[in-house]
Amino acid sequence: MQTVHDVPALRAAIRGWHAQGQTVGLVPTMGNLHAGHFSLIKLARTRADRVVASVFVNPTQFGPSEDFERYPRTLGQDQAGLAEQGCDLLFAPEVATMYPYGAQHSVSLHVPQITDTLEGAHRPGHFDGVATVVCKLFNLVQPDLAVFGQKDFQQLKVIERMVRDLSLPVKVMAAPTQRAEDGLALSSRNQYLSDEERALAPQIHAVLAQMRELIGKGHAWRVVEQAALSKLERAGFEPDYAAIRRAADLSEPAEGERDGLVGLIAARLGKTRLIDNLLFD
């Protein structure tokens, strides 16, 4: 596997593949890779001739009080893991390469409506940063397809909407959430958890499963949301939301609407903010 840090080297590699008629799949990440990320690489490998992974801790998607500085950076380890997974190329740019005018002065993309709620409401500007960096990565790599995890469900929907609205020639693919045996969704942020917090963390998935069960039994979604919030608080979390939405566009369901719903939770455990979701179908 080749690792490149700058744009000319990246473009040269991609040009060679495209000239041979090979398709390219992209897996954008912030590094500190785990089995969740590797499942995206595996999916990309089954759908494209060549797989490019990017590792870039993107400053524009972090709020001022968030963990940009302390976000785990483990490039050597990531390189070894990606090579083992059969990734063809790793693109690991510096901030100045991605933002030639500086991250503060970058062109910024705003995907309206779907970003007003949930993560968008609790992390102002987050999805502008995500949309901007993903659009830039698409322009740099020119992939035929790109794989995103359902773990970040709203992010996946934001990217789908951006691609459709900007007519970007990229097929967006979703990969299922990889979990630890106790149900906790794998995440680079899990390593911030103390032993005690790690033992509590699977409650998020357990509460999502209970939400799904209650909706299945015909309970009203607003009541189920309230019950989930109380359960999380009683267990020691500080929840930002426990929401039930339409999976298609994250809008609020009508009363009695049962099909195509998703449950989403964001909750803080000590200093760590965890998110997870579950499709109710």
Residues at the interface with ligand AMP (CB under 6 A): 29-30, 36-37, 39-40, 148-149, 151-152, 175, 177-178, 185-188
Integer Rg of the chain from CA? 19
Closer to ligand AMP by CB, 119 or 152: give it: 152
- Nearest CA to 137 out of 210, 58, 79 is that of 58
**Whole-number minimum distance, CB 15 to ligand AMP, in Å?**
26
105 is catalytic: no
When the beta carbons of 23 and 74 are compared against ligand AMP, the nearer one is 74
Strand-by-strand arrangement of the 24-29 sheet = 2-4, 89-91, 50-55, 24-29, 145-149, 171-175
Shortest CB 175 distance to ligand AMP, Å? 5
> Annotated catalytic residue: which of 37, 105, 122, 219?
37
180 or 220: whose CB is closer to ligand AMP?
180
Amino acid present at 116: D
Give the Cα separation of 217 and 141 in Å (integer): 46
Angle between helices 7-19 and 126-141 (to 10 degrees): 50
In angstroms, what is the minimal distance from the CB of 189 to ligand AMP? 8
- Comparing C-alpha atoms, which of 218, 213, 240 is closest to residue 229? 240
**Smaller CB distance to ligand AMP: residue 189 or 246?**
189
Minimum CB distance to ligand AMP, residue 20 (Å): 28
Please list the active-site residues. 37
